[in-house]
């Protein structure tokens, strides 16, 4: 079975997918972004020693706001009524933070793009708030970790 790109019509032109006939189901997606920074920068993030204020709270709020605004940023995404967005930021080691964004709704289309956008913007916000002390921060591994629900069913990274 050949996979079809749903955002292309029969002539190859980009279009917004018609989801009007799809069933409403519970859908959830989680995406990640990893930030690598100097150990001294991460200490400042954790201890709140950066000039722009509470870096982690600001990044969480930015990620939530970005997930809600995904259709304003990605041209063919449907505007969605998200019912839940969480952004969790975890220290992985002395130089790395992990951002996880999970989005949920009961709807006709998935929330993968919202989760990816939320994780990305939270990571970019962390960069913005830390760049005064560490311009060399690298954002890596922006990726979908899992999605649940919808016609195509559940999927998780590493199991495809």
Looking at residue 82, which CATH number applies to its domain? 3.30.70.640
Q: Is 128 considered catalytic here?
A: yes
Q: Are 23 and 82 in contact (CB under 8 A)?
A: no
Which one from 18, 72, 88, 128 is the annotated catalytic residue? 128
Q: Which two tokens stand for residue 116?
A: 């990816």
On whether residue 91 sits in a domain, the answer given is yes
In which domain, by residue range, is 35 found?
Answer: 25-147
On whether residue 79 sits in a domain, the answer given is yes
In the chain, which residues have pLDDT < 70? 1-15, 160
* Full-model pTM: 0.90
In the prediction, which pLDDT does 20 show? 78
On whether residue 4 sits in a domain, the answer given is no
Q: Are 141 and 34 in contact (CB under 8 A)?
A: yes
Integer Cα distance of 103 and 113 in angstroms? 9
Q: Which helix (H) or strand (E) segment is 30 a member of?
A: strand 25-36
Neighbours of 79 (CB within 10 A): 9
What Cα–Cα distance (Å) separates residue 112 from each residue in 102, 127, 154, 160?
A: 9, 23, 12, 16
In the prediction, which pLDDT does 11 show? 67
On whether residue 57 sits in a domain, the answer given is yes
Q: Are 105 and 77 in contact (CB under 8 A)?
A: no
In the prediction, which pLDDT does 1 show? 38
Domain count along the chain: 1
On whether residue 44 sits in a domain, the answer given is yes
In the prediction, which pLDDT does 5 show? 57
On whether residue 124 sits in a domain, the answer given is yes
In the prediction, which pLDDT does 2 show? 47
């Amino acid at each position: 079975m050949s996979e079809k790109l749903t955002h292309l019509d029969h002539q190859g032109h980009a279009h917004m997918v018609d989801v009007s006939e799809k069933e409403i189901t519970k859908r959830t997606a989680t995406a990640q972004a990893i930030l690598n920074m100097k150990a001294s920068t991460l200490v400042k993030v954790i201890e709140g020693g950066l000039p722009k204020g509470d870096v982690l709270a600001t990044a969480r709020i930015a990620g939530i706001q970005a997930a809600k605004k995904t259709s304003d940023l990605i041209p063919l995404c449907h505007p969605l009524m998200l019912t839940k967005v969480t952004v969790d930021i975890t220290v992985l080691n002395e130089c790395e933070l992990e951002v996880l964004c999970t989005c949920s709704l009961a709807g006709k289309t998935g929330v993968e793009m919202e989760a990816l956008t939320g994780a990305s913007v939270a990571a970019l916000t962390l960069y913005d708030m830390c760049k005064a002390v560490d311009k060399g921060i690298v954002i890596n591994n922006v990726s979908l970790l899992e999605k649940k629900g919808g016609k195509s069913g559940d999927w998780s990274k590493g199991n495809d």
